[in-house]
Amino acid sequence: MSTLNYRTINIDALDPDSPQNFPIETLLPATLPPPNTSSGAANTATQVRQLLRSGDAVGALRHVLETAPLGGDEGAKQVHLATVIDVLQGIRQGEMGRVLAGVLEGEGGVERGDCLMKYLYKGMASGGPSSGAQSPRKSVSPQSTGFSQIQARNLGEGGGGQQMSVLLNWHEKLVELTGTGSIVRVMTDRRTV
Amino acid sequence: MATPEVHHLFHAPIADHSFSSDKTTLAVARDNNVELYQKSGNKFSLTDELKGHEKTVTSVDIAPNSGRIVTCSQDRNAYVWEQTPAGWKPTLVLLRINRAATFVRWSPSEQKFAVGSGARVIAVCYFEEENDWWISKHLKKPIRSTITTLAWHPNSVLLAAGSTDSHARVLSSFIKGVDTRPEPSAWGERLPFNTICGEFLNDSAGWIHGVSFSPSGDALAFTGHDSSVTIVYPSAPEQPPRAMLNISTRLLPFNSLVWNGENEIIAAGHDCEPYRLRGDESGWQLEGSIESKAGPGAGRVREESALNMFRQMDLKGQTQADTQLKTVHQNTISTIRVYEDVNGSVQKLSTSGVDGRVVIWTI
């Protein structure tokens, strides 16, 4: 007698034609930057904080979005996310409109807008400020391609709620400038942040 | 601009529509059937139904010269309908696919048609006189997911296909004995069946909804679920393209697009109105809607309408009475087609959508 429980075998994983086995890396463009390490991301963070301290909010946000580790490992991405959120929190609400207009200006403005939108959604998904940076969350979704529905949210609870309101403010301002198109692109784009 | 001609046919989605070359017959895919409308006065009235498919009809195309209608459906079949004195006679085409057929178009030569499917193949079908039936050959090789859209090159050999694997591809569908050898072009010189002449992916990688060759066939445009339009100018066979331009828009995604000359594209989709894009190899930009809005300030209030609705409900306990969109179409536009053109320059367009309307626009 075999002890194998045939009911629990994931047959989709064994079928080469199954969507679960879709080669998701084929959706990455050839122009993807080389992988970044977390120490590289930490260097960027220092530079960006310097810019922010010197009062150049536009420059700081621009730089942090241009150096996003699209091809980086998970560690680099978490460090960079923390940097972006720091920058966003460091800019006063009254300044948001002016800063965004500056960031979206010039060549590559659309890409910077899309990149910021990705960070806003990632920031909202990861909840509190500390949890994002310290414990990179394992994907809860059973399929690597799926979006998880069951993520912890800590809305309205201390620092998390405050961060959420900052992100929502930025979201509102960004949608005014880049429209619904950039939200749609967050969902399709496989160059995740 | 003249006011668009609106035909509200019924309250159900229109998957696809096609006009006969004399514009008196309109074929519309509705649920499991195709309905044929005849023009009488300025109205279209239902005259005939093509019944035969067992599941939703996904696409319909009338050949301009022969008048034959090809339809395909989620039941995995395609039919070619021919008009006889006794009515429309269907011929079943053996597609040999095990998933839904999603899209069908006649080649400009009308000798062949191509059917896209969820089985990750494109069936290129042609009529074999000897056996008196339609044969299909499969384009298979690099396709990794469902084919959502197809477009023919003017030479009837090259075929552009958009897929849910986010790639737009240009493939050869050359069939010996049916096609004449095509002129060499930037896409390729020798073109045996299933030659891959180009495979394109844009940076934000959405599902492809619409593809189209420019009137000369020397440029390809595609649009996807990333709300962008990409235009590719090929350089030479097996070389990277001379230019690949991507226009990210602030709009919802487009579903379908057509060229108007070599320097203009008209695209329509989830924003319920057609938009115009202009440009050339050095750059393209979105020009704006081709629709002239009724009433002042109609355009920009829409984005906040959900917020306003809830605010109204909160403050006054009243729900918004006005549920009409400011656009002519009241829901997503699924297909846009050239209605009338003079030497590649489009005079009129037709669109159909989820709202059951077919609209004819004068450019």
pLDDT in tens, B283-310: 999 999 998 865 434 444 455 667 777 7
B51 within a domain of the structure (yes/no): yes
Higher pLDDT among residues B215 and A145, named by residue = B215
Which residues of chain A neighbour B303 with C-beta distances below 8 Å? 175, 179-180
B298 within a domain of the structure (yes/no): no
The pLDDT of residue B238 is: 87
Residue ranges of alpha helices (H) inside chain B are 305-316
> How does pLDDT run across B235-249, given as a tens digit for each residue?
998 899 999 999 999
Residue B14 in contact with residue B29, Cβ under 8 Å?
yes
B161 within a domain of the structure (yes/no): yes
Residue A147 in contact with residue A186, Cβ under 8 Å?
no
**CATH at residue B14:** 2.130.10.10
Angle at alpha carbon of residue B269, lines to B28 and B293, rounded to 5°: 100
How would DSSP label each residue in A61-129?
HHHHHHT--TT--HHHHHHHHHHHHHHHHHS-GGGHHHHHHHHHSSTTHHHHHHHHHHHHHHHHHH-SH
B355 within a domain of the structure (yes/no): yes
Which fold is adopted by the domain A34-131+152-188? 1.25.40
Mutate to test the interface with A, among B250, B303, B304 (most CBs of A within 10 A): B250
Helix (H, G, I), strand (E, B) or coil at B213: strand
A114 touches B: beta carbon within 8 Å: yes
C-beta atoms surrounding B178 within 10 Å: 18
B104 pLDDT exceeds 90? yes
> How does pLDDT run across A33-65, given as a tens digit for each residue?
777 888 888 999 999 999 999 989 999 999 999
Measured between alpha carbons, how far is A39 from A45 in angstroms, rounded to an integer?
10
The pLDDT of residue B302 is: 52
B315 within a domain of the structure (yes/no): no
Mutate to test the interface with A, among B203, B247, B301 (most CBs of A within 10 A): B203
B299 within a domain of the structure (yes/no): no
Does B204 contact A188 at a Cβ distance shorter than 8 Å?
yes
pTM of the model: 0.86
Q: How far is B207 from chain A (nearest CA, A)?
A: 8
A111 pLDDT exceeds 80? yes
- Structurally, chain B folds into a number of domains equal to 1
A146 pLDDT exceeds 60? no
B21 pLDDT exceeds 50? yes
B54 within a domain of the structure (yes/no): yes
B300 within a domain of the structure (yes/no): no
* Inter-CA distances, B225 with A51, A68, B345, Å: 36, 23, 27
Looking at chain A, the whole-number percentage of residues with pLDDT higher than 90 is: 46
Domain residue limits at B85: 5-291+327-362
The pLDDT of residue A131 is: 44
